[in-house]
């Protein structure tokens, strides 16, 4: 495995392990990219190993993608969008009610508050 590939894999592992403050609600997905290249012969991480890792991290969705062949790219984006929306729906929405100060009766009668 080349040094740059090892660094990329390490970054993915660190991101997955460190994550945001509440990783259970953060919409993580894992992409195996460029699956169209040389029939998978230069693959660094096997599909099985990627799926095992995703399973160990709470069943993170995994997609093998190819932008060149337009394979699973839309599915991956839809998946992460759905996960984000599910989290959004679970959050309480808080609207602050603003009540204006009452207008003195004298100003109401004059018709102009300027």
Q: What angle do CA 76, 90, 94 make, to 5 degrees?
A: 125
What is the pLDDT at residue 36? 86
Per-range mean pLDDT, top range of 29-38, 47-56, 76-85: 47-56
Task: Summarize pLDDT for 89-109 with one digit per residue, the tens.
Answer: 555 555 566 677 777 776 556
Please state the φ and ψ torsions of residue 92, each to the nearest 5 degrees: -70, 135
Task: Summarize pLDDT for 43-68 with one digit per residue, the tens.
Answer: 888 899 999 999 998 888 999 988 88
What is the pLDDT at residue 80? 83
Contacts of 29 by beta carbon, 8 Å cutoff, 6+ apart: 60, 61, 62, 63, 76, 79, 80, 83
Q: Tell me which CATH homologous superfamily contains domain 3-90.
A: P-loop containing nucleotide triphosphate hydrolases (3.40.50.300)
Helices (H), 1-114: 3-18, 47-56, 73-90, 105-110
Contacts of 57 by beta carbon, 8 Å cutoff, 6+ apart: 16, 28
Contacts of 69 by beta carbon, 8 Å cutoff, 6+ apart: 36
**Residue 83: pLDDT band by 50, 70, 90 thresholds?**
confident
What residues does each domain of the chain span?
A: 3-90
């Amino acid at each position: 495995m080349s040094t740059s590939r090892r660094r990329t894999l390490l970054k993915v592992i660190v991101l997955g392990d460190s994550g945001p403050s509440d990783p259970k609600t953060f919409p993580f997905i894992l992409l195996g990219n460029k699956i169209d290249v040389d029939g998978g012969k230069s693959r660094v991480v096997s599909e099985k190993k990627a799926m095992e890792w995703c399973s160990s991290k709470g069943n993170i969705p995994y997609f093998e993608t190819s932008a060149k062949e337009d394979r699973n790219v839309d599915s991956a984006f839809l998946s992460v969008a759905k996960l984000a929306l599910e989290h959004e729906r679970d959050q309480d929405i808080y609207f602050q009610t603003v009540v204006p100060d009452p207008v003195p009766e004298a100003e109401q009668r004059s018709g102009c508050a300027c």
